[in-house]
Structure 1
């Protein structure tokens, strides 16, 4: 199962997704290490191998599923120990089956659990013994270590599934409280009811609209590329959302030519430098003037709050620009800033704080329009 363990490797410039899990490698002693599994079917266990080569390493015990009592082991120079009465759950067959399932999952293909549940659906639609046998074979094809998770039900685990594929009078693989009694008609009827309820729940879940709206934006992302020079326009496009766009704003009685001018002026505690920055011909010149000036104490911790205030002022004082921002709907705003990986996305290498704050201010403008902002009255 992939879970949260997500990684990748690059192959011929292509990003190949992958995941990893712990295993023991026997190379003289036993070594606890990571087994990396990739979507193209290659496995990294101290070297990249194919699934067939990995199977050979399993069969010969180089990738170890049996841990002998008294054998020495180590883990990444963190610790060394000897096994004492070790117990393992995996066999070479089980581990190989789990790895094959993982490759299917990485590729978005049905794995053994999906194939089993499809066979169960086919049986429920046409309840013949032939189709029950197919469903039972598909259940047994799920790695034993993964069967408990097949239904995603941590209370009943896979018990309803076992009962359904066994049928009345049949034998299950295990019982929750032990014993090997055959399946009763009552147990079977309960299992059928369980799957019918489960099918209804899945259908309702797939059609349910999240109460708080979609998780991902429905509008395509907007990238605000760096562009020079920027000039005021009667019909501005998204370039007007950039901080160096000429949009004079009043902050504490001082007029600045742009957000960038105001930001760099407020970054210094030297009043004379601040006044010179406010008169700079371009935003780039304002930045260059600020570079050598002393920073305000605590500026690094306060700068996002300052930028938020400046963006709010820009769009409050320029309704036409506010409409440009509102017209971006719920799109992700990707802001490029060649001078700062803090403020810019910069091909995924930056933090994109300007883009994130533009989205925040946009949400505030939407709230104000809808009358549901913090100042709205009930």
Structure 2
């Protein structure tokens, strides 16, 4: 179960998603509590990257340990050292391997053993033959034993109703191998699944009160460009801060948002006109970088850029239309000079993209007649 344990590694410049769990490594007769990293490409880091076949070998040889010996030394790096007294493990090599295989499926958005079981249950409920029940029971038993009680997502009754359903009247559930399922218990399980299906259908049909949680439009990547002249059809290049779209701030005209940003960042008012007058945004940044920043610039810079973006799209309606046409897409902005402003292959914070999405939302609000009122933002001078 991945939950909130989300990580990644970079391979050949590609971000490979992953997760982790605790595990014991046995080396030289001692045990070490560590993190076992599992990645979407099927590699597992257990003090070294191995394939799933390699991981199975590590389990077979006891390098990744599921059998814990009483009296053995154990350490958690730089935290604690102790000995096992009466150790008990819920895992076997087979169970841990099955859990890791399920994790790889989850990381890739593919059905895992639980999903396959629930699909088999749906097939049985649609056509209640003993053959379909046997298939559903086999799929249930294929779920790692440590994960079965999570299968229905019911933390009160766990997987009991699932055990009863796949066993059938007169059959024996896994948790009570000496207690056959009665017709009453079976009917109750059927009613449970019928209600579960009705609840799922109702959730699927429900319109979120505050709109969708994820964008309906595909993400748009605003790649690094060096546009020197405006275009009649700039496309999303127009959304770049260095695109030549002059903005007026308090009677001072800047050739682009980037020119304004770098001129305003400089502490010396006498240097700002020279920065603003540079031929292109790159030159403006270079000149500004050699001058001291204003006090508190790091804390103010996101508010400054927000104001500049508002000015750009208010003063250039055609460019505002280009921004509005991105709908609710995630805007991924590249900035080779800054991992603060750019996404840069997942290494940056993408603040420019996020602020563009904010300004886009404000433009949508204005178009629908929603009045935001005065923001009371800082004056830029």
TM-score (norm 1): 0.86
Quick one: distance in 2 between partners of 1:11 and 1:275? 45
Partners of 2:228 and 2:280 within 8 A in 1: no
Partners of 1:174 and 1:180 within 8 A in 2: no
Tell me, which stretches of 5 or more residues in structure 2 are unaligned? 375-381
CA separation of 1:9 and 1:222: change in aligned 2, threshold 3 A: closer
RMSD: 2.9
The 3-state SS of whatever aligns with 1:30 is strand
- 1:49 Cα shift? 4.5
Tell me, which stretches of 5 or more residues in structure 1 are unaligned? none
**Residue number in structure 2 paired with 1:315:** 313
- 1:63 Cα shift? 2.8
CA separation of 1:262 and 1:16: change in aligned 2, threshold 3 A: closer
Quick one: distance in 1 between partners of 2:67 and 2:180? 33
1:25-174 mapped onto 2 (5 Å cutoff):
25-27=25-27, 28-174=29-175
CA separation of 1:114 and 1:358: change in aligned 2, threshold 3 A: closer
The 3-state SS of whatever aligns with 1:101 is helix
For residue 286 of structure 1, the aligned residue among 284, 287, 293 is 284
CA separation of 1:349 and 1:19: change in aligned 2, threshold 3 A: closer
Report whether the alignment pairs 1:219 with 2:217.
yes
CA separation of 1:186 and 1:327: change in aligned 2, threshold 3 A: same
Question: For residues 69-89 of structure 1, what are the alpha-carbon distances to aligned partners after superposition, in whole Å with 9 as ceiling and x for unaligned?
Answer: 221111224321011222221
1:184-263 mapped onto 2 (5 Å cutoff):
184-233=182-231, 236-263=234-261
Number of residues of Structure 1 aligned to a counterpart in Structure 2: 373
Larger Rg over CA atoms = 1
- 1:303 Cα shift? 0.8
CA separation of 1:119 and 1:302: change in aligned 2, threshold 3 A: same
TM-score (norm 2): 0.85
Partners of 1:364 and 1:373 within 8 A in 2: no
Quick one: distance in 1 between partners of 2:41 and 2:369? 52
Higher deviation after alignment, 279-288 or 191-200? 279-288
Question: For residues 173-217 of structure 1, what are the alpha-carbon distances to aligned partners after superposition, in whole Å with 9 as ceiling and x for unaligned?
Answer: 336xxx964433322211101111222333343444433333333
CA separation of 1:364 and 1:173: change in aligned 2, threshold 3 A: same
- 1:233 Cα shift? 4.3
